[in-house]
Amino acid sequence: MTEQLHPVRRDGSGDGDSRRQGHGQGHGRQRGLAGAVGPIVVIGVFGVTLGITYPLFSLMLERQGASSSLVGLNGAMTPLGMVLSAPLVPAAVRRFGPGAAMAAASVGAAALLAALATTDALWVWFVLRFVLGTCAVAMFILSETWISEIADQAGRGRLLTAYTSVLALGFCVGPSVLTVTGNSEGAALAVAVVSPLVALWPLWSGRRRVPAMAADGSVPVRALVRLLSVLLVAVLAVSVFDAVTLQFIPLYGERAGLSPGHAAFTLTVLLIGQMLFQYPVGWLADRVGARAALMLTLVVGTAGALLLPAFVGRGLWLWPMVALWGGIAFAGYPIVLTLLGEGLRGTSLLLGNTAFAVVWGIGGVIGPPYAGAAADWLGENGMPYSLAVLWLIALAVTAVGFAAARRRSTTR
């Protein structure tokens, strides 16, 4: 990528040119790493915020006497806000710029969380959590586009998997805040309010590194649609997997005979796997290609879902299997981002990331009821088998799409 932006002049100096070219590429990678610190820190602190709010708000509503169905419906407002407001993000970037849009989302999230602490009116909670989803989706779309724009082609997979690993870490740290504060609503809410404001520091210090994103107004519609038609199915599979495992793994473990403590720990192990094993998949994508790495994640996603019932009864073998399954399967999302960033720039990349955000939100909404219905129909193993069906569909669609892309490239 650096060589394309700053071509080396060939004037007969030979080895000196090669050394200067390698030196320039090294500086390009360093600039990419330095530029990626901002969006990675931003999404990490936002992950902490969301990781706190989901369990905290469920607890607060329960203490107010809300029914379980009402708690669940209120929790759906944030992903619903993400789905419905995601298409507005490109327009906000064109109007205000990406840095200002992200800063507004950070301040807005803090203000909304502070407002939630001042009222018990349930209808206000519904509205505020919906708007919180609009702030969250802006941060996701713009931070992902930021990294994709600045990433060196040779290190894109590692940067994006580092990004999603830090996000997973944030989601793990969030619930632990409740434990540390002794389930104190006031203390946990204070941390949730302050966390998005921390994002203002990397946004300000890295403001000169924020790419324009929507500066390029030309959109290759055919190429964009062709690419998204393949990748969006994989995004949906990972999104459903994420939502279903977060909600059902502890319940599935208990129904399969695990103690409540072991069942809950199984989810913890899966989340640890997401932190540990995504980066190696990103490294693999940079070595053998993102297409091969994506196929690996889809195969592992399918195999893990099919094998989960067998491993539940195998004692300690369950946890390394779940860690590998969670980490490698979830890595499909940053690898999809890698593929999108390899082929698109500017407005096209922003639109592609927006489409990903919409589909991710849809997966979060439909995934739990889909897996729940399968469990009601087939018993407890309906949950992993429902995931296996979706993984298989994504694997087939992706394989066919990649084969068609290879045929098109060879006939040119």
Q: Where are the domains of the chain?
A: 32-212, 219-406
Has this prediction a pTM greater than 0.95? no
Q: Which whole number is the average pLDDT over 209-216?
A: 68
**Per mean pLDDT, which range of 22-31, 160-169, 362-371 is the poorest?**
22-31
Domain 32-212 shares a fold with domain 219-406: yes
pLDDT digits (tens, 9 = 90+) for 32-50: 566 778 888 889 998 899 8
- Structure confidence at residue 19 as a pLDDT band (50, 70, 90): very low
CATH of 32-212, picked from 1.20.1250.20, 2.40.50.320, 1.10.760.10, 2.40.40.20, is 1.20.1250.20
Q: List pLDDT tens digits, range 109-134.
A: 999 999 988 888 889 999 999 999 99
| Domain 219-406 in this protein, CATH class | mainly alpha
SS3 of the chain: CHHHHCCCCCCCCCHHHHHHHHHHHHHHHHHHHHHHHHHHHHHHHHHHHHHHHHHHHHHHHHHCCCCHHHHHHHHCHHHHHHHHHHHHHHHHHHHHCHHHHHHHHHHHHHHHHHHHCCCCCHHHHHHHHHHHHHHHHHHHHHHHHHHHHHCCHHHHHHHHHHHHHHHHHHHHHHHHHHHHCCCCHHHHHHHHHHHHHHCHHHHHHCHHHCCCCCCCCCCCHHHHHHHHHHHHHHHHHHHHHHHHHHHHHHHHHHHCCCCHHHHHHHHHHHHHHHHHHHHHHHHHHHHHCHHHHHHHHHHHHHHHHHHHHHHHCCHHHHHHHHHHHHHHHHCHHHHHHHHHHHHCCHHHHHHHHHHHHHHHHHHHHHHHHHHHHHHHHHCCCHHHHHHHHHHHHHHHHHHHHHHHHHHHHHHC
Of 24-38, 154-168, 390-404, the poorest mean pLDDT is in 24-38
pLDDT of residue 62: 78
